[in-house]
């Protein structure tokens, strides 16, 4: 038999230009790297990935067991009952006029964000520091991104003045644009008050801006007082939420978008793409999610305990770290602190550390503490900033311990040391590394 000359495929030539050279998402990459180092026998403090430490509430796990046999493909936009439960959830918690027909369920809010950017023909505005995947998603799709850099003094939040300045400098009122707003924020743990949101909405209205309000940590506002952007700017706000954070079910991959009626054309376009790609979210997960979104007393109690543990720990970490010269704000929600090491620049430079990526690499190599550089959150490469995710403790044990302390009492001071010991030790390691002789 005559053997044909083999055809050599140059794989790099067949990769889309926007994807060529794209690394794995930093949050997932750091997690893999930590596991690898642990396999090699190193003690690693995992402050890289932002994953809920708490178990999925029992009522929701039981629902998943109950529906394990559900095997049919479900509607592309999601199970009718689930879309209803999500709408009801936002009506009750966020006081917005959410309707079931305007809810879309997807395999994680991350995928829904990607679909939105795919179907929406316009620019994307993102205040920084911002979550790691917004900008890579826009770049994969070839969307134009406008970054609005914020500062430590502003608590890393977007001010209406900065937003207005952006539009005035653009000098182009009519262009379609989406603003990605995320609060309580990843990576900085800050939030917006109703008044802040109203001022942003005023500018947004003037420029007919669509806002994708990433409120995935909304239920993890430490005071339980999250205000939805959709309650102050209902006409053009899409609320992004899901099970990953407040329900501790990141790996279940279920996210939700809730649209205003006038943007349902965007949802329909996203659903068309979804129908040609992932079809629908896993059936048992959707049935279980109905239970989660319907909530009730046991889930509310779970949330109250989760918030008080996260609040106690987050605030302790911020206080402790600021004693070592790191500039950091006390968090208002979520799992993160955004650290600014610039005051320590001279000390770090003596050790050959002049930027965030080097700082994080050296911290991991020399002290086993994994955090992510500010550049992963779209801050300048040479900035000495980093995100620390303080949730690497055993959430089941901490939750059980908190449940034994009445809710009208504060958690005792030794609670953190006792039940969140891994996080405490990691902070101590980081601080000792900062001041060690070289
Ligand atoms: N949201 C989490 C984080 O920022 C991780 C989830 C993900 O990146 O998919 O660490």
What CATH code is carried by the domain that includes residue 216? 3.40.640.10
Domain count, the chain: 2
Q: Does the structure show a pLDDT above 90 at 132? A: yes
385 with 250, same domain? Answer: no
Find the largest Cα–Cα distance for the chain: 84
186 CA to middle of ligand 1, Å?
9
The pTM of this model reads 0.94
Instruction: Read off the tokens for 62.
Output: 């039981």
Q: What pLDDT, on the 0 to 100 scale, is given for residue 1?
A: 44
Q: 361-415: per-residue pLDDT in tens?
A: 999 999 999 999 999 999 999 999 999 999 999 999 999 999 999 999 999 989 9
Query: Closest Cα to atom 7, ligand 1: which residue?
Result: 27
Q: Quick check: is 8 in a domain?
A: no
408 burial type by CB count under 10 A (0-12 exposed, 13-18 middle, 19+ buried): exposed
Confidence of residue 13 (pLDDT cuts 50, 70, 90): low
286 with 359, same domain? Answer: no
Confidence of residue 71 (pLDDT cuts 50, 70, 90): very high
Collapsed DSSP state (helix, strand, coil) of residue 295: coil
244 lines ligand 1 (CB under 6 A): no
Q: Which of 33, 250, 371 has the most ligand 1 atoms within 8 A of CB, as the residue to mutate?
A: 250
261 CA to middle of ligand 1, Å?
29
Q: Quick check: is 4 in a domain?
A: no
Query: Closest Cα to atom 10, ligand 1: which residue?
Result: 50
Collapsed DSSP state (helix, strand, coil) of residue 103: strand
Give the domain-ending residue among 271, 295, 319. 295
Q: What pLDDT, on the 0 to 100 scale, is given for residue 180?
A: 98
147 with 264, same domain? Answer: yes
Q: What pLDDT, on the 0 to 100 scale, is given for residue 10?
A: 58
51 CA to middle of ligand 1, Å?
7
Picking from 375, 431, 399, 326, the residue whose alpha carbon sits closest to that of residue 129 is: 375
Q: Decide if 388 contacts 336 (C-beta within 8 A).
A: yes
- Spatial separation of the C-alpha atoms in residues 315 and 324, rounded to whole Å: 15
Q: Which atom number of ligand 1 is nearest to the Cα of residue 389?
A: 10
25 lines ligand 1 (CB under 6 A): yes
Q: Quick check: is 1 in a domain?
A: no
Query: Closest Cα to atom 8, ligand 1: which residue?
Result: 27
Give the domain-ending residue among 277, 295, 313. 295
Q: Does the structure show a pLDDT above 60 at 118? A: yes
Stretch 49-53: mean pLDDT:
95
Where in the sequence is the domain holding 81, given as residue range(s)? 58-295
Mean pLDDT of the chain: 94
Q: What pLDDT, on the 0 to 100 scale, is given for residue 2?
A: 47
50 lines ligand 1 (CB under 6 A): yes
410 with 425, same domain? Answer: yes
- Separation of CA 121 from chain center: 24
Q: Which of 24, 47, 49 has the most ligand 1 atoms within 8 A of CB, as the residue to mutate?
A: 49
Q: Decide if 191 contacts 185 (C-beta within 8 A).
A: yes
Q: Which residues contact 89 (CB under 8 A, 6 or more apart)?
A: 241, 293, 294, 295
88 with 67, same domain? Answer: yes
What CATH code is carried by the domain that includes residue 338? 3.90.1150.10
110 lines ligand 1 (CB under 6 A): yes
Q: What pLDDT, on the 0 to 100 scale, is given for residue 23?
A: 82
Phi, psi of 181 (to 5 degrees): -115, 135
268 with 310, same domain? Answer: no
Q: 293-309: per-residue pLDDT in tens?
A: 999 999 999 999 999 99
Give the domain-ending residue among 248, 277, 295. 295
278 with 411, same domain? Answer: no
171 CA to middle of ligand 1, Å?
35
398 CA to middle of ligand 1, Å?
22
- In 3-state terms the chain splits into helix, strand, coil percentages (rounded to 5) of 50, 15, 40
């Amino acid at each position: 038999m005559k053997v044909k000359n083999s055809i050599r495929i140059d794989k790099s030539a067949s990769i889309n230009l926007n994807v060529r050279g794209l690394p794995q998402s930093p949050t997932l990459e750091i997690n893999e790297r930590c596991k690898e180092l642990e396999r090699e026998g190193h003690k690693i403090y995992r402050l890289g990935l932002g994953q809920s430490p708490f178990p999925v509430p029992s009522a929701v796990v039981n629902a998943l067991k109950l529906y394990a046999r559900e095997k049919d493909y479900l509607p592309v936009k999601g199970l009718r009952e689930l879309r209803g439960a999500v709408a009801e959830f936002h009506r009750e918690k966020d006081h917005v006029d959410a309707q079931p027909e305007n809810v879309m369920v997807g395999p994680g809010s991350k995928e829904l964000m990607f679909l939105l950017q795919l179907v929406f023909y316009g620019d994307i505005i993102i205040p920084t520091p911002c979550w790691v995947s917004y900008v890579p998603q826009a770049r994969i799709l070839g969307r134009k991104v406008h970054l609005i850099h914020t500062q430590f003094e502003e608590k890393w939040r977007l001010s209406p003045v900065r937003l207005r300045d952006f539009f005035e400098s653009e000098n182009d009122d009519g262009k379609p644009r989406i603003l990605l707003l995320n609060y309580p924020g990843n990576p900085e743990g800050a939030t917006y008050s109703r008044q802040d949101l109203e001022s942003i909405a005023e500018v947004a209205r003037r420029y007919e801006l669509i806002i994708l309000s990433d409120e995935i940590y909304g239920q993890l506002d430490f005071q339980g007082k999250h205000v939805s952007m959709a309650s102050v700017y209902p006409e053009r706000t899409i609320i992004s939420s899901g099970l990953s954070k407040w329900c501790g079910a990141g790996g279940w991959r279920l996210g939700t978008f809730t649209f205003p009626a006038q943007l349902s054309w965007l949802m329909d376009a996203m659903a068309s793409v979804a129908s040609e790609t992932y079809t629908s979210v896993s059936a048992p997960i959707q049935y279980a999610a109905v239970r989660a979104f319907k909530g009730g007393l046991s889930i509310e109690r779970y949330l109250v305990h989760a918030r008080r543990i996260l609040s106690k720990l987050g605030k302790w970490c911020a206080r402790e770290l600021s004693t070592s010269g790191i500039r950091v704000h006390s968090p208002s929600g979520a799992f993160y602190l955004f650290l600014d090491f610039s005051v320590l620049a001279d000390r770090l430079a003596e050790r050959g550390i002049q930027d965030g990526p080097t700082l994080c690499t050296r911290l991991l190599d020399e002290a086993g503490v994994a955090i992510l550089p500010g550049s992963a959150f779209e801050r300048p490469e040479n900035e000495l900033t980093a995100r620390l995710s303080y949730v690497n403790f055993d959430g089941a044990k901490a939750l059980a311990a908190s449940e034994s302390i009445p809710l009208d009492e504060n958690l005792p001071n030794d609670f953190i040391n006792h039940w969140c010991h891994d996080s405490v030790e990691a902070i101590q390691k980081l601080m000792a590394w900062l001041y060690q002789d070289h």
